[in-house]
């Protein structure tokens, strides 16, 4: 009890650091005190109340929260709880998808009666509908997470649609520059901390003018965010671009 009372006064980021250094008391404190947060994240995927004592999905969420503690780095820019929320949701979705491969898929929004689905074609159709629903949800979730990250840079999706380079060559160049920043540890840390481009240092590494960098800085920052985070679907759009 004394240990928990003392840990209660420690900021979350420092508790994470202690847990990452194999401080068992800090780890147990986090796993116990953030049970409501874990259950809420899981319930947002399952769209129902989650009972930590009965639901397997909660166990998956708890393991994911533990994993998030181990993997979290403040240098990526997002808060721990934002990061943990994303990890939990993706692990639960993966769990649901894995189970759906071996039995009739049940939608999170609808139920299907197996007795009336003897046709393999019909079963496959249900599974496909389920997977499409989940992928659509996954994409929406990524967009919401992306909007939150953009906001930390004082950017918005609406703004990006207006300032994105019109020509493909310009867009490719901007993506290439964002990749250069991501691959450079010092510049990457600078962008995450300052929320802006290191124009002077960047100009020495790329073959474009400072004026061009300044003109496209918001778009470059947005691409940097996509590259730096675990945005699976958004990254698909960048495959082969700027490389």
Least confident of 124-133, 210-219, 227-236: 124-133
Q: Are residues 117 and 161 in the same domain?
A: no
Candidates 113, 106, 98, 64; CA nearest to 84 is 64
**Considering the domain boundaries, does residue 23 fall inside one?**
no
Domain limit, last residue, from 126, 152, 178: 152
Q: Are residues 170 and 128 in the same domain?
A: no
Least confident of 74-88, 107-121, 159-173, 198-212: 107-121
**Considering the domain boundaries, does residue 121 fall inside one?**
yes
Q: Are residues 86 and 175 in the same domain?
A: no
User: How open is the CA angle 208-214-219, to the nearest 5 degrees?
Assistant: 95
Which tokens sit at 45? 């995927």
User: How open is the CA angle 233-238-242, to the nearest 5 degrees?
Assistant: 165
Candidates 103, 98, 95; CA nearest to 57 is 95
Q: Are residues 133 and 169 in the same domain?
A: no
For the stretch 41-88, pLDDT in tens is 898 888 888 888 888 999 999 999 999 999 988 776 678 888 888 889
**Considering the domain boundaries, does residue 17 fall inside one?**
no
Determine contact, residues 138/91, Cβ cutoff 8 Å.
no
Q: Are residues 56 and 106 in the same domain?
A: yes
Reported pTM = 0.54
Q: Which residue has the higher pLDDT, 14 or 97?
A: 14
**Considering the domain boundaries, does residue 5 fall inside one?**
no
Q: Are residues 132 and 163 in the same domain?
A: no
How many domains are there within the chain?
Answer: 2
- Three-class SS string for 206-240? CCCCHHHHHHCHHHHHHHHHHHHCCCHHHHHCCCC
3-state secondary structure of 68: helix
Domain limit, last residue, from 94, 125, 152: 152
Q: Are residues 116 and 51 in the same domain?
A: yes
Q: Are residues 67 and 172 in the same domain?
A: no
For the stretch 94-146, pLDDT in tens is 888 777 655 444 444 444 444 434 445 555 555 566 566 666 777 787 888 88
**Considering the domain boundaries, does residue 21 fall inside one?**
no
**Considering the domain boundaries, does residue 13 fall inside one?**
no
Q: What is the pLDDT of residue 40?
A: 87
Helix (H) / strand (E) element for 186: namely helix 185-194
% of residues, the chain, pLDDT over 70: 79
Q: Are residues 44 and 78 in the same domain?
A: yes
Q: Are residues 46 and 132 in the same domain?
A: yes
Determine contact, residues 201/187, Cβ cutoff 8 Å.
yes
**Considering the domain boundaries, does residue 25 fall inside one?**
no
Instruction: Count CB-CB contacts under 10 A for residue 176.
Output: 17
Domain holding 180, by residue range, is: 157-236
Domain limit, last residue, from 116, 136, 152: 152
**Considering the domain boundaries, does residue 176 fall inside one?**
yes
Which tokens sit at 120? 């393999």
Q: Are residues 84 and 44 in the same domain?
A: yes
Q: Are residues 164 and 147 in the same domain?
A: no
* DSSP output for 58-72: HHHHHHHHHHHHHH-
């Amino acid at each position: 009890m004394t240990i928990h009372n003392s840990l209660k006064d420690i900021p979350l980021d420092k508790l994470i650091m202690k847990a990452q250094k194999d401080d068992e008391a800090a780890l147990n404190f986090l796993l116990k005190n953030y049970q409501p947060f874990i259950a809420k994240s899981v319930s947002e995927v399952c769209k129902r109340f989650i009972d930590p004592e009965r639901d397997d999905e909660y166990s998956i969420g708890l393991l994911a929260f533990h994993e998030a503690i181990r993997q979290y780095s403040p240098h990526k820019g997002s808060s721990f709880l934002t990061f943990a929320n994303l990890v939990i949701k993706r692990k639960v979705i993966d769990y649901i998808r894995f189970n759906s491969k071996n039995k009739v898929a049940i939608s999170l929004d609808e139920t299907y009666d197996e007795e009336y689905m003897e046709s393999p074609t019909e079963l496959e159709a249900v599974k496909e509908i389920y997977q499409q629903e989940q992928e659509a949800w996954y994409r929406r979730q990524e967009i919401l997470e992306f909007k939150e990250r953009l906001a930390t840079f004082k950017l918005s999706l609406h703004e990006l649609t207006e300032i994105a380079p019109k020509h493909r060559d310009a867009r490719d160049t901007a993506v290439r520059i964002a990749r250069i920043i991501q691959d450079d540890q010092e510049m990457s840390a600078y962008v995450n901390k300052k929320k802006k481009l290191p124009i002077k240092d960047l100009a020495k590494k790329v073959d474009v003018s400072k004026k061009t960098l300044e003109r496209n800085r918001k778009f470059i920052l947005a691409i940097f965010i996509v590259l730096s985070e675990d945005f699976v679907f958004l990254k698909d759009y960048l495959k082969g671009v700027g490389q």
